[in-house]
Amino acid sequence: MKKINLYEAQDFSDTAFKRLLVHDSPYFKIINFNFRAGQELPIHSHNVEGQLSLVVLEGEGEFLGKDGARLPARAGDVLVCDIAEPHGLRAATDLRLLVTIAPPI
């Protein structure tokens, strides 16, 4: 068993979003991203098998998808997509995101 508190483990930065590797194993990879308002995880994808979940722990913004697609993002939202599917996030307020990738890439 391994426990981490995300609110203690990582804060925010005005210069760029922050990234913390929470866990990495043969089964999944878990990453915490903290965004200041206006910061963005640019849309991207990887041509591999698997899926990922994006969980918004705090804050508001938009999920980014292919062809300029936008979906509102707010606390309690869980977005699931294929790793091969373009995805990203833009924060409108300070925002904490938890990403789980299975299998890990």
Q: For binding to its own copies (CB under 8 A), which residues are involved? A: 1-8, 22-23, 25, 27-28, 30, 50-51, 53, 55, 57, 63, 65, 69, 71, 74-81, 85, 87, 98, 100, 102-103
Q: Is 6 helix (H, G, I), strand (E, B) or coil?
A: helix
Q: Which of 3, 1, 7, 2 is nearest to 57 (CA)?
A: 7
User: How near is the Cβ of 37 to its own copies at its closest, in Å?
Assistant: 20
Q: What span, in angstroms and rounded, lies between the C-alpha atoms of 83 and 49?
A: 7
Beta carbon nearer to its own copies, 5 or 15: 5
Q: Rounded to the nearest whole angstrom, what is the least distance from the CB of residue 79 to its own copies in the complex?
A: 5
Q: Which is nearer to its own copies, 92 or 98 (CB)?
A: 98
Q: How far is the CB of 19 from its own copies (least distance, A)?
A: 15
Q: Which residue has the tokens 């990887």?
A: 46
Nearest distance from residue 15's CB to its own copies, in Å? 23
Nearby residues of 89 by Cβ (< 8 Å), 6 or more positions away:
33, 35, 40, 41, 54, 61, 62, 63, 64, 73, 95, 97
